[in-house]
Amino acid sequence: MQFQYENAYDVKARIAEKKVAILPVGAVEAHGSHLPLGTDNLLAERMGAKLAELTDSYLLPTLPYGQVWSLRNFPGSLSVSNESMAMLLTDIGESLHRQGFRVFVMLSGHLGNGTALKEAARRLYEKTPELKVYHFFYPGSKEATARVRESSPLHGSYFHACEIETSYMLYLADEFVDMDKAICDIPHITEEADCTPTPWESFTETAVLGDATLATREKGETILTASLKAMADMVNKAKREAEAGR
Amino acid sequence: MQFQYENAYDVKARIAEKKVAILPVGAVEAHGSHLPLGTDNLLAERMGAKLAELTDSYLLPTLPYGQVWSLRNFPGSLSVSNESMAMLLTDIGESLHRQGFRVFVMLSGHLGNGTALKEAARRLYEKTPELKVYHFFYPGSKEATARVRESSPLHGSYFHACEIETSYMLYLADEFVDMDKAICDIPHITEEADCTPTPWESFTETAVLGDATLATREKGETILTASLKAMADMVNKAKREAEAGR
Amino acid sequence: MQFQYENAYDVKARIAEKKVAILPVGAVEAHGSHLPLGTDNLLAERMGAKLAELTDSYLLPTLPYGQVWSLRNFPGSLSVSNESMAMLLTDIGESLHRQGFRVFVMLSGHLGNGTALKEAARRLYEKTPELKVYHFFYPGSKEATARVRESSPLHGSYFHACEIETSYMLYLADEFVDMDKAICDIPHITEEADCTPTPWESFTETAVLGDATLATREKGETILTASLKAMADMVNKAKREAEAGR
Amino acid sequence: MQFQYENAYDVKARIAEKKVAILPVGAVEAHGSHLPLGTDNLLAERMGAKLAELTDSYLLPTLPYGQVWSLRNFPGSLSVSNESMAMLLTDIGESLHRQGFRVFVMLSGHLGNGTALKEAARRLYEKTPELKVYHFFYPGSKEATARVRESSPLHGSYFHACEIETSYMLYLADEFVDMDKAICDIPHITEEADCTPTPWESFTETAVLGDATLATREKGETILTASLKAMADMVNKAKREAEAGR
Amino acid sequence: MQFQYENAYDVKARIAEKKVAILPVGAVEAHGSHLPLGTDNLLAERMGAKLAELTDSYLLPTLPYGQVWSLRNFPGSLSVSNESMAMLLTDIGESLHRQGFRVFVMLSGHLGNGTALKEAARRLYEKTPELKVYHFFYPGSKEATARVRESSPLHGSYFHACEIETSYMLYLADEFVDMDKAICDIPHITEEADCTPTPWESFTETAVLGDATLATREKGETILTASLKAMADMVNKAKREAEAGR
Amino acid sequence: MQFQYENAYDVKARIAEKKVAILPVGAVEAHGSHLPLGTDNLLAERMGAKLAELTDSYLLPTLPYGQVWSLRNFPGSLSVSNESMAMLLTDIGESLHRQGFRVFVMLSGHLGNGTALKEAARRLYEKTPELKVYHFFYPGSKEATARVRESSPLHGSYFHACEIETSYMLYLADEFVDMDKAICDIPHITEEADCTPTPWESFTETAVLGDATLATREKGETILTASLKAMADMVNKAKREAEAGR
């Protein structure tokens, strides 16, 4: 399942059979004191592993650097540009296509990667039309999230180091969570934050956007199970189509 | 030591103290049947961990995609362009500098990454002159290699899945080596390979360039210990200079 | 108020006084049969004029070409790339800054322009930090919309040639609306549309996403008045800050 | 005739019939005190409308930002780079071709746009060879100009806010001309201005290059009628060839 | 005078004294049968040598590749893109500035290089404002040309392998001219050639644009002496200004 | 043999026959006091002439600007970027292919050009696969060098203005060598120079890396004759293959 642990002799036939490559894409980014900098990498990687299992796909090694513009001034954050990411991801997609893959899943654990992933997906749509490309950021999680969450959702689509993301970590990587340090910090984010470049230090000191103390492993499991199902359904459909197209 | 497992509260002071970030850079590439596709990632990552320990530095998460032009048509190889890599690495370097690092080590496990790493290092030399940037590919290993190797060296600086690289793996990641499948395959590589774009399928079917059966853990340890010492000496000197420059 | 109708002798002092330049950004795009291709240009331009009046700002001539990837295969749609737009907008922003402006408002009438506008805003944040840059796409309209809309909202943030957008046109440019041709066409848009490049012809033949027959001038007025107020509040605040910073 | 006022249902058949799209390209630029900043936009737009009528073509919305390097330091001038323009124009051309157009006319009202327009035309020549691309800047006007002009021509191909351009405005947009403010200002422009980057503030304070007081509506009509005829002849020929090639 | 024949020990003081570097820029391009492909290189190089002598400047080695779009399909023509040229010339300019030069003369023997040279000059104007940059293509030759020419001038600024250019060669490089093969070939070039990409094979088979049989060494000498004087005047003035600015 | 001295009438048939174009690529770079700045241009040009003769090929005019990062701060050095060079060389290669050439030899006299040449060769490998592209920097010289050299080789592949390069000049261009000024200067170059951007002023004042006093014309002849043979063998083989492929 782990692509990089295969050898070059066996892998060719298996690519032809599996057809799907899953690339976890994360980031190194401040996530308060109760979660590690690599939270988005851990989430993407472990979600990727589960999705690979559910769909009999190959899991690629994680791309652990992402676009972290908003939090780039917080300690520990590392950020790369949209264009650098889009170029690298496009290269990887073309390479996968040349190797015989027919479905390329970019599974992101970090919202800020969205622009680069979408751009790469569209470039590949032109360059290698027979490669189906997905860019996932917790699709299909909306209803389950609404059902389990206790704190109010914050501004727009933002969620970060909060009840929800901490629950994800408790489910997938609890050895890296220190709930003793979990805090509740509900910043006031104005409408303006969507309309002008707004580094997050202008509204939060902690980089925790919500109430992390409400996080539980069960909430994480509920939401991510729903999301995994949504992803697996899409991937399996694409896989069947690729097989039919043979 | 693992940067991404730190949290944003503690990391600031530690960056100021450690000053050095080590980025393993590998590749996913065909390495015969006895070594995995991720050989260069495993080597870079584990060498990086050792170097971080020797120099009290931070180890960054591995960048697992590299420039694999020569072997891109072999099963399992994934290749990205020099320019994509150089841009991403330059972004990472600038970000590290903004975070307070003063020494950035790109430790490569894959020869083909050399052009991109050197280019990134030179761009950073202009953009962030106070950041010392290293691009390492087994420096200081020449004498030790000459001492322990039993097979003749092949063409120029090429070494791949051979006595030497397999020995590295036996020392650093033997759980991924299957010596039963190790072969001896000595291709004839003409001078022309240095003078015109030459995909390796034109001179090898196995992607093994030499006699992998001669590999031993001891040879790997001897060479890599020498190389680690050479790297540690450079990094420690740069660290002292950065401290003095404070 | 219309910047391009000023002459070069009078304009210098007035820039120093007004400080704000508003650039309407639209698109040429299929909008069913009851709305013209230039709907997004008309909306951006007329919203821009109202905002300029409310804030005593200069209105720049409209940039009438936008990123229309999703609908590019529909008759009449013209599309430009994110990068072309981002570069041109960055150039315009730098030029405005050199002319003495301190607030640059990009007011978009087309959702697809979002990526380019945000990218340009961030580039300007680095290049001309004293220029405050806004990228608006109907901010502050959420509550008013929820209050007046009769049809159910469709998929995510999509709205196109529907009850809402047609209401905008009835309020701002009813001479271009042919309500006799307004239709109700509620497509089924799957989750997948957010996760893979999805040209809209895969789920609609009409490019009308909802029930345009429910549109009224009053609904348009209610929503856009709320949005204009939100925009004017932000712009006026930025203007005051620019004056204070003098 | 105005492309953006069509709707997506009717437009397809009409594109197939008309075949020609005319894009006015102007600039926002200082033109003394008797002419507005948007002079080149007004001229391009109104010439475009006349040409569309003469050739039964579609008129696209005006691109109102141009390359204004030489006058960029004059109050009110906005300038964009050659590369940004060339990229955007190439995108528009490709989009027109995809929509079924076979002739793309870029009609410029601003000399400084010449480099970008020519570059875009050549890029399209490679990318979409069956799309005929014109870049017009008052072709066919030489003889008529020589006949009617009373002042001596200035340096090379320069003309700006002078007898000639003011006459154009009196013919096409006299509501924006204030002849009371028209002046005569004949700068001394050395040969060097053609041989080294020379911002115009080095030889003029007014940005009027000649004697604007001699302008008349009749002169404008005479010259522009000649130029329109020249343009219409070329466009009609291209249209016939496109029809024949069907 | 020839920069590349100096050695690194002596050159530093001499740069400080001379201040001016002259770069001949030519092309490899079809010039009929009586002139060689390298005509523009020979002219640029020898004009450069004369200008260097007149102004006590350094002559750089010739850049012998130019933008030859219009004639690229003629036998022997080699063409490079505007952007490649502009980048290389900008690099050279920055390097000259770092070496201590204060005046950079790009002396072109080929009209098609104009766009790239002007673009490079403007980039250097921003990057190294204290470096005065000239782009010369026979400035100051207009009157002398009108005086000596016997054939009628062709279309616009075109001249190629004709009475004029052949006279230049007879004056500067007659060992490469074969007057026995000189022909008179006056093509009909329509206005359209200025308005749409027009490869020259659409109006000439010979690439001779005029009457080469009328060429004489004296005509060449008369025109080029005038042009050299114009260039020397500009360069000497710039040199004096650079000295004063010391 | 000199391509640029041919005329456009004769050249077409000769290209079809010769098939090979040789481009000397040099640099302007400090080479101590006994060798001129243009040493690498002279060597590339004269080696190119010999190779053209040996293989009945066309010799193109020399590209005399190269990537001189390491020595860019030495008096007289001019440096251009890898990307500018790679773009220009790719353009030239495409142009040669369009003209009918089937083998393109880039013969470099300067080590620092290696990255750009290899990059251009790989780009052409994708764009014009039927064009065989070589990038030569003294191939096949290793054994002969080892045989004749008296001084010890310095660090890695570095050689510069030393016994070897001076011998080349004595053989190919002795009129530009001043042996009275030849010196022996053996710098200490640490391993670090390969691992971090290292301008050469950090280890040498003279830019002579070795013992130039040991140079002789005979040594140069021995080595270069071997290298020319190696190059001619490759080129002739490629030529035969191109002929066979006709």
Selecting from A84, A90, A207 the residue whose C-beta is nearest the C-beta of B87 gives A84
Inter-chain CB proximity B80 and A95 less than 8 Å: yes
Residue B246 belongs to some domain of the structure: no
> From first to last of its 246 residues, what are the pLDDT tens digits of chain B?
999 999 999 999 999 999 999 999 999 999 999 999 999 999 999 999 999 999 999 999 999 999 999 999 999 999 999 999 999 999 999 999 999 999 999 999 999 999 999 999 999 999 999 999 999 999 999 999 999 999 988 877 778 999 999 999 999 999 999 999 999 999 999 999 999 999 999 999 999 999 999 999 999 999 999 999 999 999 999 999 999 986
Tell me the C-alpha distance between A104 and A131, whole Å: 7
Considering only CA atoms, which of C34, C94, C10, C23 is closest in space to residue C59? Answer: C23
The identity of residue D77, as a single letter, is S
CB atoms within 10 A of CB B36: 27
- Asked if residue E57 lies in contact with residue E51, where contact means CB atoms within 8 angstroms, the answer is yes
Q: For E162-183, what is each residue's pLDDT tens digit?
A: 999 999 999 999 999 999 999 9
Q: Which residues contact D191 (CB under 8 A, 6 or more apart)?
A: E139, E140, E230, E234
- Asked if residue D85 lies in contact with residue D67, where contact means CB atoms within 8 angstroms, the answer is yes
Residue E196 belongs to some domain of the structure: yes
DSSP secondary structure letter of residue E28:
B
**What would the 3-class secondary structure string for chain C be?**
CEHHHCCCCCHHHHHHHHCEEEEEECCECCCCCCCCCCHHHHHHHHHHHHHHHHHCCEECCCECCCCCCCCCCCCCCECCCHHHHHHHHHHHHHHHHHHCCCEEEEEECCHHHHHHHHHHHHHHHHHCCCCEEEEECCCCCHHHHHHHCCCCCCCCCCCCCCHHHHHHHHHHCHHHCCHHHCCEECCCCCHHHHCCCCCHHHCCCCCCCEEHHHCCHHHHHHHHHHHHHHHHHHHHHHHHHHHHCC
Report the range of poorest mean pLDDT among A198-207, D70-79, E151-160: E151-160
Q: Which residues contact C244 (CB under 8 A, 6 or more apart)?
A: none
Q: For F90-126, what is each residue's pLDDT tens digit?
A: 999 999 999 999 999 999 999 999 999 999 999 999 9
**Residue written as tokens 């590439």?**
B29
Residue E126 belongs to some domain of the structure: yes
Looking at every residue in chain C, the average pLDDT score rounds to 96
Residue D57 has pLDDT above 90, yes or no: yes
- Asked if residue C3 lies in contact with residue D28, where contact means CB atoms within 8 angstroms, the answer is yes
The identity of residue C145, as a single letter, is T
Chain D 143-182, residues with CB within 8 Å of chain E CB atoms: none
3-class SS of residue E33: coil
pLDDT at residue number A246: 61
**Token pair listed for F181:** 């000024």
**DSSP bridge partners of E211:** E184
Mean pLDDT, range D206-224, rounded to an integer: 97
Residue A166 belongs to some domain of the structure: yes
Domain extent at residue B75: 3-241
Please check whether residue E41 touches F, CB under 8 A. yes
Give the residue from chain B lying closest to A88, CA to CA.
B84
Give the residue from chain A lying closest to C134, CA to CA.
A196
Query: CATH number, domain at D178?
Result: 3.40.50.10310
Q: How many domains does chain C have?
A: 1
Chain D residues touching C78 at Cβ < 8 A: 60, 92, 95-96, 99
**What would the 3-class secondary structure string for C181-234 be?**
HCCEECCCCCHHHHCCCCCHHHCCCCCCCEEHHHCCHHHHHHHHHHHHHHHHHH
Helix and strand counts by DSSP (H, E) for chain A = 7, 6
Question: Exposed/middle/buried for E180, CB within 10 Å: 0-12, 13-18, 19+?
Answer: exposed
- Whether chain F lies against chain C with 3 or more Cβ pairs closer than 8 A is no
> Given pLDDT bands bounded at 50, 70 and 90, which one contains residue D246?
low
Residue D246 belongs to some domain of the structure: no
Report angle CA D92, D94, D100 to the nearest 5 degrees. 105
Considering only CA atoms, which of F135, F141, F140, F93 is closest in space to residue F114? Answer: F135
Give the residue from chain E lying closest to F64, CA to CA.
E61
Give the residue from chain C lying closest to A82, CA to CA.
C119
Q: Which residue has the higher pLDDT, B105 or D151?
A: B105
Residue F19 belongs to some domain of the structure: yes
Inter-chain CB proximity D91 and C79 less than 8 Å: yes
Q: For D124-144, what is each residue's pLDDT tens digit?
A: 999 999 999 999 999 999 999
Selecting from C12, C36, C79 the residue whose C-beta is nearest the C-beta of D5 gives C36
pLDDT at residue number E246: 61
> From first to last of its 246 residues, what are the pLDDT tens digits of chain C?
999 999 999 999 999 999 999 999 999 999 999 999 999 999 999 999 999 999 999 999 999 999 999 999 999 999 999 999 999 999 999 999 999 999 999 999 999 999 999 999 999 999 999 999 999 999 999 999 999 999 988 877 778 999 999 999 999 999 999 999 999 999 999 999 999 999 999 999 999 999 999 999 999 999 999 999 999 999 999 999 999 986
DSSP secondary structure letter of residue B126:
H
Query: Residue ranges of chain A with pLDDT lower than 50?
Result: none
Residue F246 belongs to some domain of the structure: no
Selecting from E6, E79, E84 the residue whose C-beta is nearest the C-beta of F84 gives E84
Chain D residues touching E140 at Cβ < 8 A: 191
3-class SS of residue B24: strand
**Token pair listed for C168:** 């905008």
Q: For C97-107, what is each residue's pLDDT tens digit?
A: 999 999 999 99
Chain A 56-95, residues with CB within 8 Å of chain C CB atoms: 69, 82
Please check whether residue B236 touches A, CB under 8 A. no
Inter-chain CB proximity B191 and F234 less than 8 Å: yes
Inter-chain CB proximity A197 and C234 less than 8 Å: no
pLDDT at residue number A141: 95
Residue C246 belongs to some domain of the structure: no
Inter-chain CB proximity F69 and B194 less than 8 Å: no
Helix and strand counts by DSSP (H, E) for chain E = 7, 6
Q: For F43-97, what is each residue's pLDDT tens digit?
A: 999 999 999 999 999 999 999 999 999 999 999 999 999 999 999 999 999 999 9
Question: Mutate which of A1, A3, A9 to test chain B, going by most B C-beta atoms within 10 A?
Answer: A9
ipTM: 0.97
Tell me the C-alpha distance between D193 and E156, whole Å: 20
pLDDT at residue number B153: 84
Our CA dihedral for D107, D111, D116, D120, rounded to 10 degrees, sits at 30
The identity of residue A21, as a single letter, is A
Report angle CA F14, F18, F24 to the nearest 5 degrees. 110
Chain A residues touching B36 at Cβ < 8 A: 4-7
> Quick one: what percent of chain D has pLDDT higher than 70?
99
The identity of residue F77, as a single letter, is S
